[in-house]
Amino acid sequence: MIEAVIFDMDGLLIDSEPLWQQAEITIFKQVDIILTHSMCTQTKGLRIDEVVEYWYKKYPWDKLSQLQVQEAIVNKLIELIHTEGKALPGVNDAINYVKAKNVKIALASSSAYKIINAALEKLNIADAFEIIYSAESEPLGKPHPGVYLTTAEKLGVSPQNCLALEDSLNGVLAAKAAQMKCIAIPEMSEFHNPKFAFNASALRANADMILESLKQLDDNSWGFLNS
């Protein structure tokens, strides 16, 4: 039985992936790394320190420290969230639907707390969640399951009785590694990516269900996962 629903944030609640890409492209240019939007997708769902480390290993620089690059990207992103951030379709509908099921509700994100706070303030949904937890408090970010396991522990619910809602492959991998059920709601360009597809015989992590948007979280999907 599903006793708790755990929402990711970036790309699921707020349309922040284009903002992340814009911030990364702008700041990495300062250390002479010219990223494209396609290149940015290689690190989708990772913590910002892991994103910076990923590109530093490929193209080492000496103009700024990795921490300075991280902080600059985060500050730029928060600026963009305040000016351009918007909710993705079905956010309030999905939150209200879950609340009507009388289950616990939480948010588990790879983003730092100050990014989470900026996004939830922009969408005016901070009060919707019993627990708000960031992978910045974990030794490793997604796809490591730590952020989900700790969130379940904070909720007082077994991971096997949690449903995670995710948009990125790294997020799905994290949720399934935590032994949770998982609905993937990828951006449309990724919707037919076979890596998201449900495969009952696979030992690797695949989503239990794929939806086009949070608007499709309804009694049909809930009943299928709760059976």
Name the residue among 165, 192, 159, 193 with its Cα closest to residue 177.
Answer: 159
- The pair of three-digit structure tokens given for residue 219, joined into one six-digit string: 């009694």
Residues 24 and 35 sit within 8 Å (Cβ to Cβ): yes
Task: Catalytic residue, from 8, 32, 167, 219: name it.
Answer: 8
Apex CA 145: angle with CA 144 and CA 151, to 5°? 135
Task: Catalytic residue, from 10, 32, 218, 219: name it.
Answer: 10
Cα distance between residue 169 and residue 156, in whole Å: 26
Handedness of CA 164, 90, 170, 19 (dihedral sign): negative
Clarify whether 8 is annotated catalytic.
yes
* 98 contacts: CB under 8 Å, gap ≥ 6: 5, 105, 217
CB atoms within 10 A of CB 202: 10
Cis, bond preceding 143 (omega within 30 deg of 0): yes
- Phi and psi torsions of 137, nearest 5°: -90, 0
Residues 185 and 166 sit within 8 Å (Cβ to Cβ): yes
Amino acid at 134: S
Clarify whether 208 is annotated catalytic.
no
Helices (H) and strands (E) in the chain, counts: 9, 6
Query: Annotated catalytic sites, by residue?
Result: 8, 10
